[in-house]
Structure 1
């Protein structure tokens, strides 16, 4: 039988009524002739509760025990989903990560998937099982310890299973009915996309769109897994949701297909840094070792052997960045005048594979922001993306103005 992977997020399984609703969707696919692998998240709010208990019990917790505790939420959901399907006379059973087994690295709370042997589940399908309900977000290390994949890891679990089992498709059920041209809460003209290319989705996910976890999109692109994002709360049709697919599966594309934003960004500048070979390596090695997630980087023109170095990072990592740079200066590895941090900025980006073949996108974007009186602080580009840092107070205005200017409310 063809295999279909269906993933249900926390809001989709938040209580027993929603689990029953999700189970009915699974039953529909079983009736179509699929063997179904269902990946479930913990019930909404449960993981946060478990994390809170861990931190209250042991502020300096053992990461191995942390994973054992926080992964239990998915186990509960998997068991309840399997029981619900059995009540519907659908042959189903639950699987925890170690039972599959989903083999991972030993990096607790941020493990990477290394292998998913298919023999155990395939054998059960051959024996008449129709649905394997797998606890998402978790696996087992070579040392035999439970591991977790990081927040949003159930998306990655689902895509990995789709790749391992050569599934026809991977359906991600969530609380939105697809991928939009921008956040509908900010721009009422936002339009749901029928299709979006892997590369566009990867950029949007990394730039602030919360629909899919970045790692899951990377995995889907690498293995050619067709993803479909759907709502758990709306009636479904064959063309419901948004299909995330290869670029060649999309006939025509706008120059820009989406506007993304990241609200909590900071701009950090090192003033009067010695301009010599290796200085950038020293700066960004120190930041990397401190766990600072650097994004946009700009180096100013050198004057008299000194330069300024600017980068962006999440607002909550500024203190860590400042401490790492101060320590590097104290060690004598780095010489600079001071660090200036602006924590009142945001990142706004336009994304589209059509940029490869259409010119003028950057000029149009900068003209739109200029017309709205919005000053650009930092610019970075890639083949299909242009990102700018602007004052946070202009974020919604920038998103709406760019969405209108590129006419994203209209289909290609």
Structure 2
């Protein structure tokens, strides 16, 4: 008998018909002799609708009340899924994050899990029942309801899998696994049968949205095997596990693009110690996440510093940097919203020479200019113009022969 945690996202349970289909699948898994724990997201676009309602009634939107509001969507979904399971002849019990023993810090709207005490979940399993847990929620050490943030149901599922010592954590979504490029851009993109945690995290960092990065980090840190699958076709998907040193690693596993960032450049900055520290501390104090940073070679005692931030933070970041311009002694600040990144990722890049040259040659052959470069042991990322990002992905996918089986 295997113990499996199954996570179902909002599109998987988007309406009554989908809810019944998911319940039927869970029932089949149980009838094959498995124990199942379910983590479920709010239905469809319900979280967005709740956020819209909040904006209509409040300008302040206190964090404690926002968490109470947003997590109502998951509570609704878990109760409905339990009802559908009972109709399948499967005894099931719904649990809020608090009832499931998920304890978090006190950071409302983006809480982090500090402990999982799944006593009631184990008791339900021992009684032959299916626990259905509302995702992305918990209870703080101050005993308030908390929300884990977007993608938090993935993290809920992984945390439960770790606490229960589950055999696997299955992440069901609207795609059939993790692909080596976006199939909407590259029709020849292939579903990957297996990825290491490190490769998946680099793909997340490069713009791949599923599964949520926090859940992959949690899984890596605690050794939880992930299986990303489709809740529409039920076919085998992509396994994300520890790196297997005995297997030959692909040089490049995937090509990922991301158009969610913008670039800021601070020009004519004095090339003296402490300038960059003051600049990025001011941004950090406004909770602005900086991704890539590039500083030009000093010319006549001054330099330019370029960095990328999320599009949503561009106006705030621009205001922060512009406010520091005189203090920093900078000449000016320019914002560029029309950029994208394109990345290649692969565990085999660590030992294979020539990958960087091949990427640059491919982009040059397409007439695509590289504006910034960032590297890690298994990822190479270039900032390019947003209007050529799709062409870059197609060219790199072909250059590294990722369409081959």
TM-score range, shorter chain: over 0.9
Residue 228 of structure 2 is matched in structure 1 by 229
Aligned residue runs from structure 1 range 36-47, under 5 A: 36-47=36-47
d(CA) in 2 for partners of 1:2 and 1:119? 19
The structure 2 residue matched to 1:282, chosen from 255, 259, 278, is: 278
Any residues of structure 2 matched to 1:35-74 within 5 Å, and which?
35-74=35-74
**Aligned position for 1:111:** 111
Q: TM (normalized to structure 2)?
A: 0.98
Instruction: Please point out which of 344, 348, 368 is paired with 1:354.
Output: 348
Matched residue, 1:220: 219
User: Counterpart of 1:198?
Assistant: 197
- Please give the alpha-carbon distance, in whole angstroms, between the structure 2 residues aligned to 1:91 and 1:79: 13
How far off its partner does 1:259 sit? 0.6
Task: Provide the C-alpha distance between the structure 2 equivalents of 1:62 and 1:290, rounded to a whole number of angstroms.
Answer: 18
Aligned counterparts, 1:301-340, within 5 A: 301-329=297-325, 332=327, 334-340=328-334
Q: Which residue of 1 aligns with 2:388?
A: 394
Which position in structure 2 is the counterpart of 1:20? 20
State the match for 2:239 in structure 1.
243
Q: How does 1:83-98 map to 2 (within 5 A)?
A: 83-98=83-98
Alignment-derived partner of residue 374 in structure 1: 368
Moved more, 54-63 or 379-388: 54-63
Q: Structure 2: where are the runs of 5+ without partners?
A: none
Quick check: 1:286–1:324 contact (8 Å CA) kept in 2?
yes
Distance 1:225 1:169 in 2: 7
Count of residues in correspondence between the two structures: 405
How big is the shift at 1:250?
7.3
Q: Secondary structure at the residue paired with 1:99?
A: coil
- Do the aligned residues in 2 keep the contact of 1:195 with 1:250 (CA within 8 Å)? no
Query: Equivalents in 1 of 2:19, 2:53: separation in Å?
Result: 25
Paired residue secondary structure (1:98): coil
Other structure's SS at 1:193 match:
coil
* Structure 2 residue aligned with 1:255: 251
Q: Cα distance, 1:307 vs. partner?
A: 1.1
Distance in structure 1 (CA, Å) of the matches to 2:136 and 2:305: 38
Rounded to whole Å, the distance in 2 between the matches of 1:74 and 1:252 is 42
SS of aligned partner of 2:133 = strand
**Corresponding residue for 1:82?**
82
CA–CA distance in structure 2, aligned partners of residues 329 and 307 of structure 1: 14
How many angstroms does 1:124 deviate by?
2.3
Residue 293 (1) aligns with residue 292 (2): no
- Tell me by how many angstroms 1:249 deviates: 7.2
Deviation per residue, 1:219-245 (Å, 9 max, x gap): 111111110011111143xxx111111
The residue aligned with 1:7 is 7
Per-residue deviation, residues 351-403 of structure 1 (Å, max 9, x unmatched): 00010121111000000000000000000100000000001111110000000
Residue 185 of structure 1 aligns with which residue?
184
- 1:30–1:130 CA contact under 8 A, matched in 2: no
Q: Tell me the TM-score normalized by structure 1.
A: 0.96
Structure 2 CA distance, aligned partners of 1:380 and 1:101? 40
Preserved CA contact (<8 Å) 1:6 1:36: yes
2: CA distance, partners of 1:105 / 1:250: 40
> By how many angstroms is 1:315 displaced?
2.2
> Could you tell me which residue of structure 2 aligns to residue 153 of structure 1?
152
Retained in 1: the 8 A contact 2:101–2:119?
Answer: no
* Alignment partners' CA distance in 2, 1:187 and 1:103: 42
Q: SS of the residue aligned with 1:132?
A: strand
Which residue in 1 is equivalent to 2:135?
136
Shift of 1:252: 2.4
Structure 2 residue aligned with 1:405? 399
C-alpha distance in structure 2 between counterparts of 1:316 and 1:38, whole Å: 33
- Note the C-alpha offset of 1:129: 3.3
Structure 1 CA distance for aligned equivalents of residues 367 and 22 of structure 2 = 47
Q: Helix, strand or coil: the match of 1:12?
A: coil
Q: Unaligned stretches of 5+ in structure 1?
A: none
